[in-house]
Amino acid sequence: MHNIEHFHEEETELLPLLNAAGMGNKQQVVLVGKCIEMMESSHGSKFAFLLSGLRPHHIHEYLNLVHHSLESEKRVILRRIMTKLKDSDDGEFASIWHVVKTRAPVLASFAS
């Protein structure tokens, strides 16, 4: 439940601040991409755990945000994230990889 609250706080608190600061959608996407890059490097191994608190449609929405926020030269980050999710397929987070495979096969294809 805390994960959903976290994402809700981002939507209700962070996005209005970005809009008030005059950041357009394109600038917000770049900023989100930089945040994802930092998150992946600092605690990317816990990404499956973070997603496990979400419903399947929220997982799909979040992963689409990740996908669209990473510039083409940073797709290696997306590859690492998807590979970690795929590697978690045989453990307690198997349901996360199942959501990726069934709802976002394009993203699943990034896994090595």
Model confidence pLDDT, tens digit, residues 28-64: 777 778 888 888 888 778 888 888 888 899 889 888 8
Q: What is the mean pLDDT of residues 72-76?
A: 80
> Domain tally for the chain?
1
- Asked if residue 51 lies in contact with residue 104, where contact means CB atoms within 8 angstroms, the answer is no
List the one residue out of 97, 24, 25, 35 whose CA is nearest residue 70.
35
Task: State in Å, rounded, how far the first CA of the chain is from the last one.
Answer: 31
Alpha carbons 69 and 5: distance in angstroms, whole number = 21
pLDDT of 3 over the 70 cut: no
Q: Has residue 102 got a pLDDT over 90?
A: yes
pTM surpassing 0.75?
no
Amino acid at 89: D
Q: Which domain holds residue 27?
A: 2-108
Q: Yes or no: say if 52 and 81 are a contact pair by the CB < 8 Å rule.
A: no
Q: Which residue has the higher pLDDT, 1 or 89?
A: 89
